[in-house]
Amino acid sequence: EVQLVESGGGLVQPGRSLRLSCRTSGFTFSDYCMSWFRQAPGKGLEWVSFSRSKRDGGTVEYAASVTGRFTISRDDSKSIAYLQMNSLKTEDTAVYYCVRSQSLITFGGGLWGQGTLVTVSS
Amino acid sequence: EIVMTQSPATLSVSPGERATLSCRATQSVSNNLAWYQQKPGQAPRPLIFGASTRATGIPARFSGSGSGAEFTLTISSLQSEDFAVYYCQQYHDWPWTFGQGTKVEIK
């Protein structure tokens, strides 16, 4: 069974940093592209970042709103994806979801974790 | 950036009736379009990918159609568990973008 479990969320002051982790199991992590999405309280969904597998080039993508502040990474040996969030702003407050691509070929809606809440407030 | 627009914002439907949700893109996304269902306090649940392919375990009453810039999600006979918010998302080009959602509520 595929499982994705996010952790690392919590309350943090503006300007500080936080690192989210996504521990996975039930599939060969190194083969799959991984993404992070978020949802602010009472708002819609927003894509945050994307990490290609090594077989797909290993490159990354970011939403404009987080470029230069957030870094996506992965440890294929541990089957964990990370999202390092620096210079946090109040507008980064959201539930953050880790998502595995649906297959090796396409994102296709993906398989979603349950999310971890990040609250940025003084 | 590709802007996704969903209509209507709210759809009031009686159980057993058909629901038709629309999603329009500002440019072609080919068939790189997914639909999600989300209930309060839960993660989004993928329903449809590739515009028309049901995700694993999704009932046949959910169907997707369209390509290019116009898409439709149809729920053929609404069940009580289908009342939720539905989002469309394009994964054709960066940045990936979502529609604002359609809330399907009980009439």
A63 → closest Cβ in B87, B95, B101: B95
HEC string of chain B equals: CCCEEEECCEEEECCCCCEEEEEEECCCCCCCEEEEEECCCCCCEEEEECCCEECCCCCCCEEEEEECCEEEEEECCCCHHHCCEEEEEECCCCCCEECCCEEEEEC
CA distance A93 to chain B (A): 16
Mark yes or no for CB contact B36/A97 under 8 Å.
no
With vertex at residue A83, the alpha carbon angle to CA A64 and CA A41, rounded to the nearest 5 degrees, is 70
Over chain B, what is the mean pLDDT? 97
pLDDT at A104: 87
For A61-108, what is each residue's pLDDT tens digit?
999 999 999 999 999 999 999 999 999 999 999 999 999 999 988 999
Distance CA A43, CA A56 (A): 32
